[in-house]
Amino acid sequence: MPPSRRQILRRRRVAFFGAAAVVLGTVFYLPLTLLAPLGSVEAAVAPVEVAAQPAAALEWPALGASAVGAIGYDGVLAAGGASAPAPMASISKIVTALVVLQAKPLEVGDTGPDITFTAKDVAIRDAYRAVNGATEPVTAGLVLSQRQVMDVVLVESANNYAESLVTWAFGSVEEFVPVANEWLKTNGLNSTTIVEPTGMSPLNVSTAGDLVALGKLALANPVVNTIVGTSTETVPGVGDLKNSNTLLGVDGIRGIKTGTLDEAGACLLFAADYVMGGETITIVGAVLGGVDHKSLNVSVRSLLADVEESFRVVPLTTAGQPFGTYTTPWGDTANLVATKDSSAVVWSDRPVATAVEAGEVGVADKGKDVGEVTFTVDGEQITVPLELASTIDDPGAWWRLTNPAALF
């Protein structure tokens, strides 16, 4: 039986609306899928570890107390021997110089005010000569600049000039002493005590660790830093000065102060520069209670060699080194890689912490900046940018049309 007119009309309406639905679906679906943003994906970051280095093996002087540190590194790197405060002899003069400069500041190149010496200063010299203390000539009426007097104190270690300097700056030794001890306290040198400015008293005591901190303070002062590295000098009215530190210029050593006293033995506060990994590392060390300066110097050179070997240039990244991978829903992958080589100078077996930060990525070109890796060594951070190692391409129309769930 042929379909009725009503059935024919119904079929036509179904076909029409079906075709319309297909057309409308195509009109809306195609643009939505073909033009829809693809979104972005997170990186799968690979674990990053920097291999631990061997612990430092240092050969300490046989007697007394020793410690080493470095500029830019907190506290003491390593210490050996006794830890109790001990006489520091003429290393005391570093404290004297820094305290005087706090009261009477100088800039490098400045000579400062003139100091006129009197019969009292001649008597001061006579008193030190009577107890075999190191002195330099002085006459009543001699006029020297503050800088010249400080040179005599630190280069030649003249006790009489140290006392005359603090008398000029503070009025008397008695007025200098409390100021010096307050300065020590302010700078955290809590195991150090000063009773007079020269170091002739065995009651001027410190620890090797405190002296490392003192050495850092000395090098941070441009005037003291300059003077302690001076080997020879001529001061009119005084004569030729010769630094008692015979290690100056040897193995990178550039200061800081010797000390000798029966109760203290041979003492040395020293600094040495070494270039490692393109940067200069300044080592600061102290030794108290050595037998004599000849054997002490041998021990210090050996110790410095050990310390230098215990600073190591550790590779952190190489250009192109992968730190993770991006994987897209359509199967495209790209590594995030370091943009450059990098390294760090690491002391002993100090750990190196790492942290990778990577942003989300969608379609992107090779070389796109995608994050960074940060290494932390002794509080210092080294950051290296990360980039895409290859291009992440659009997946194309077919994938878009057949994977709508990944788009919406």
> Which one from 93, 216, 299, 310 is the annotated catalytic residue?
93
Burial label for 324, CB within 10 Å (0-12, 13-18, 19+), is buried
Assess whether 93 carries a catalytic annotation: yes
Other C-beta atoms closer than 10 Å to the C-beta of 206 total 27
| Composition of the chain by helix, strand, coil, percent to 5 | 35, 30, 35
The residue assigned the tokens 């009197």 is 118
Distances (CA, A) of 194 to 7, 69, 94, 204: 117, 23, 11, 5
Instruction: Give the phi and the psi of residue 243 in degrees, each rounded to 5.
Output: -65, 135
End-to-end CA distance of the chain: 49
Assess whether 90 carries a catalytic annotation: yes
Three-state secondary-structure class, residue 164: helix
Return the ∠ at Cα 30 (arms to 26 and 35), rounded to 5°: 160
> Which one from 90, 164, 191, 299 is the annotated catalytic residue?
90
Give the pair of three-digit tokens for residue 403.
Answer: 């994977």
257 labeled part of a ligand binding site: yes
> Which one from 66, 157, 164, 206 is the annotated catalytic residue?
157
Give the pair of three-digit tokens for residue 218.
Answer: 């000395």
CA distance 155 to 147: 12
Binding site for substrate, by residue number, is 257
Which residues carry out catalysis?
90, 93, 157
Binding site, by residue number, is 257
